[in-house]
Structures are given as structure tokens and as C-alpha cells.
């Protein structure tokens, strides 16, 4: 194995191990506690249907022992590289999000993905995200207002934002960007308004040196995601909105490997006249927290 390959393999393993560690501790803090003591009927129904989907693929396509063994080795590689969060969020999370979205009000959301990090720097609006002195890319402003479904401005709302740099790398998961780069939790003003100064992100390819990327390419599928900003918009008493924003003209819109782009989530940034800076305005509407979730957050820390 060449040293270049060593480097790329260790990058995939480093990113995967970190994402796995976060998932194990429960990124679903955001979505409430993981289900314990599941109903046996539910397990039989859902797990049974999933297994039958795989068995029918075997029957319908006459899968051989060679292919079955390759599948086993691939699954082991997904574990060894820590790519379960990546694989699951790329190929399955969007279906779960669609199920959830069907009963939700407020702004359109989409998937969380594997690269959110807790505990990033908190900034008051107007805010500039942490970045290097020579941070590459087009300077970009994202501004807007957070309101409730009844139109009330949500003072004290926060916009947790993270995205790749102009080369497509996430801080905390790739070697190049320093810790915390292009990540922050921005506190809105008294009218729920925010203004965030950052750099326009680049389209992103999932790691090609790990099993998720290799399976994707083996099938002849595109490993690309359109450029995107990730957002968690939160306010007390309201359901946290998990979303992403994309950019008009992006060649990968409509061909997102993670199937997470939606027409409602496309920005069309316009020049501000300040150098090559661009700006987009986007408001967010949050629905009241459901009874269950409200009960959960009011009892957090009591046991």
C-alpha cells in the first residue's frame, strides 16, 4: 500500500470513528431519548419487512455465495471504518425525515447528517463564523428572522450552523480545517433576527476511500452532494428545526447522493456590492413543541 493510500484510509477511519462516537452517545439528544423496550409486534413488523426486502433481492436477482461473502465483508468494513453514521444518513435518513415531516408544521426541514458537533462557539447576531485569516471562498451573508407559526418573532432563538469550507471539508472530520472552523451557534436579536457572515460552501463528495463511497461508485452512482449549509434553528418551547440550504445553479441539485435536497431549500444569493460578497435572506418558522417533547424538556436533569 502506498503512503498516499495510507493517508486517505486513515482519513476515512478518523472521520468515521468520530462520527460513530458521536452517534453512540446519541445525536438523538436532539430528537429525544432513544426508544427502549420496543413493542415486540413493532420489532417483528419493521425488522421483518427490512429482512424480507433483502431476502427478496436475493431471490429476485439470484444472489450467489460470492456476492453474499462480499456483502459480509462490506458490512464488516462499514463497522471497521466507523461509517455506519455516514452510510445510514446518506442512504436511509431521508426516508425517516419524510415520515417525520408528514406530521410537522413550520418551515420545511431535511436530514441532520453525520457531521453536526455539539458545543460550538456561541455568538450574538450579527456574527462572523470562526474562520482562518485566509479562509477561501466567496464571502456570504445569511440573514433572516425566526418566528412562531402564529407569526410571533422568537427573541432568543438560536441558529446552529455548520458547513464545509470552499474545498468541501468539514472541520472536526477532515485534517485541513482547524477545530470549530465554519461552525457556530448564533443567538438572534430581540426580534428573532439573525445575520451570519461566512463563506459559500462547495459541493461535497462523501469519502471515496471508505466502504460507503466504494459501494456508491461500484454501483455507478454519483457520490456528490450539492453545496449546502446545515442548520438547527431552536427556540424555547418550540420544536427544533433541522434543515439545510442549497444554492441555485448547483450541478448536483436533484442528484444529491443523500436525497436530502428540496426545492423549498434553495437560496439564490445576490451580490451586495461589497467586493465579491453575496447575501441571501431566509426566514424560519418554528412550531410549538409537542406535548411529549415539552414534557421531556421540562423534566431534563430531574432524574
Looking at the Cβ atoms of 225 and 238, the one nearer to ligand MBD is 225
Whose Cβ is closer to Fe ion: residue 16's or residue 192's? 16
Shortest spacing between CB 79 and Fe ion, in angstroms = 22
Residue with cell 418566528: 147
Residue 229 exposed, middle or buried by CB count within 10 Å (0-12, 13-18, 19+): buried
Residue nearest to ligand MBD (CB): 113
Minimum distance of Fe ion from residue 97's CB (angstroms): 14
Distance in angstroms (rounded) separating the CA atoms of residues 74 and 77: 5
H or E stretch at 291: helix 291-299
Contact 265, 243 (CB under 8 A): yes
Question: Cα(60)–Cα(46) distance, rounded to whole angstroms?
Answer: 21
**CB distance 98 to 70 below 8 Å:** no
Query: Is residue 139 a contact point for Fe ion (CB under 5 A)?
Result: no
Q: Which stretch binds Fe ion (CB under 5 A): 52-60, 109-117, 141-149, 171-179?
A: 109-117
The reply on whether position 114 binds Fe ion by CB under 5 A is no
Beta carbon nearer to ligand MBD, 19 or 154 = 19
Q: Where are the beta strands (DSSP E) in the chain?
A: 122-124, 127-128, 139-148, 158-163, 183-187, 193-199, 204-205, 224-225, 229-234, 241-247, 266-267, 270-271, 278-281, 284-286
**Choice between 22 and 86, CB closer to ligand MBD:** 86
Interface residues with ligand MBD (CB under 6 A) are: 86, 89-90, 111, 113-115, 204, 206, 225, 258, 260
Here the cell at position 17 is 470513528
Question: Could you tell me which residues come within 8 angstroms of residue 104 by beta carbon, excluding any fewer than 6 positions away?
Answer: 239, 287
Give the gyration radius of the chain's Cα atoms. Answer: 21
> From ligand MBD, Fe ion, none, which one binds at residue 260 (CB under 5 to 8 Å depending on kind)?
ligand MBD
**What is the nearest approach in angstroms of Fe ion to the Cβ of residue 111?**
9
**Dmax (CA) of the chain:** 63
The residue (of 146 and 231) whose beta carbon lies closer to ligand MBD is: 231
Which residue number, 154 or 174, has a Cβ lying nearer to ligand MBD?
174
Minimum CB distance to ligand MBD smaller for 110 or for 147: 110
Whole-number minimum distance, CB 88 to ligand MBD, in Å?
9
Distances in Å between the alpha carbon of 254 and those of 36, 209, 214, 231, 262?
Answer: 37, 24, 21, 20, 8
| Number of residues forming the site for Fe ion (CB under 5 A) | 1
Smaller CB separation from ligand MBD, 107 or 164: 164
Using the rule CB under 5 A, is 113 a contact of Fe ion? yes
Q: Choosing among ligand MBD, Fe ion, none, which partner's interface includes residue 232 (Cβ < 5 to 8 Å by kind)? A: none
Q: Which residues pair with 231 in a beta bridge?
A: 161, 243
Which option in ligand MBD, Fe ion, none does residue 186 bind, with CB closer than 5 to 8 A by kind? none
Residue 89 near which of ligand MBD, Fe ion, none (CB within 5-8 Å, type-dependent): ligand MBD
Nearest distance from residue 32's CB to Fe ion, in Å? 23
C-alpha dihedral sign at 226, 228, 232, 233:
negative
Residue 207 binds which entry of ligand MBD, Fe ion, none, with Cβ cut-offs from 5 to 8 Å by kind? none
Task: State the residues that interact with Fe ion by CB under 5 A.
Answer: 113
Amino acid at each position: 500500500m502506498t503512503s498516499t493510500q495510507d493517508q486517505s484510509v486513515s482519513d476515512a477511519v478518523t472521520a468515521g470513528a468520530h462520527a460513530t462516537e458521536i452517534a453512540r452517545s446519541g445525536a438523538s439528544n436532539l430528537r429525544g431519548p432513544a426508544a427502549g423496550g420496543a413493542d415486540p409486534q413493532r420489532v417483528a413488523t419493521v425488522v421483518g419487512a427490512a429482512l424480507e426486502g433483502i431476502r427478496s433481492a436475493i431471490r429476485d436477482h439470484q444472489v450467489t455465495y460470492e456476492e453474499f461473502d462480499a456483502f459480509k465483508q462490506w458490512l464488516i468494513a462499514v463497522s471497521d471504518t466507523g461509517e455506519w453514521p455516514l452510510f445510514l444518513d446518506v442512504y436511509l435518513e431521508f426516508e425517516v425525515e419524510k415520515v417525520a415531516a408528514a406530521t410537522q408544521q413550520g418551515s420545511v426541514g431535511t436530514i441532520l447528517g453525520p457531521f453536526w458537533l455539539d458545543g460550538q462557539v456561541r455568538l450574538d447576531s450579527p456574527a462572523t463564523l470562526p474562520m482562518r485569516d485566509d479562509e477561501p471562498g466567496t464571502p456570504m451573508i445569511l440573514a433572516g428572522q425566526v418566528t412562531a407559526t402564529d407569526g410571533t418573532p422568537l427573541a432568543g432563538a438560536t441558529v446552529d450552523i455548520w458547513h464545509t469550507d470552499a474545498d468541501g471539508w468539514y472541520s472536526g472530520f477532515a485534517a485541513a480545517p482547524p477545530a470549530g472552523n465554519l461552525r457556530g451557534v448564533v443567538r438572534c436579536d430581540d426580534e428573532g433576527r439573525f445575520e451570519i457572515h461566512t463563506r459559500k460552501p462547495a459541493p461535497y463528495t462523501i469519502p471515496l476511500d471508505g466502504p460507503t463511497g466504494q459501494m456508491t461508485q461500484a454501483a455507478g452512482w454519483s457520490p456528490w452532494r450539492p453545496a449546502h449549509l446545515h442548520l438547527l434553528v431552536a427556540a424555547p418551547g418550540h420544536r427544533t428545526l433541522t434543515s439545510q440550504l442549497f444554492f441555485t445553479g448547483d450541478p448536483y441539485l436533484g442528484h444529491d447522493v443523500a436525497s436530502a435536497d428540496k426545492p423549498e431549500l434553495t437560496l439564490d444569493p445576490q451580490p451586495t456590492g461589497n467586493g465579491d460578497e453575496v447575501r441571501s435572506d431566509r426566514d424560519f418558522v418554528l412550531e410549538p413543541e409537542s406535548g411529549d417533547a415539552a414534557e421531556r424538556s421540562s423534566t431534563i436533569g430531574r432524574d
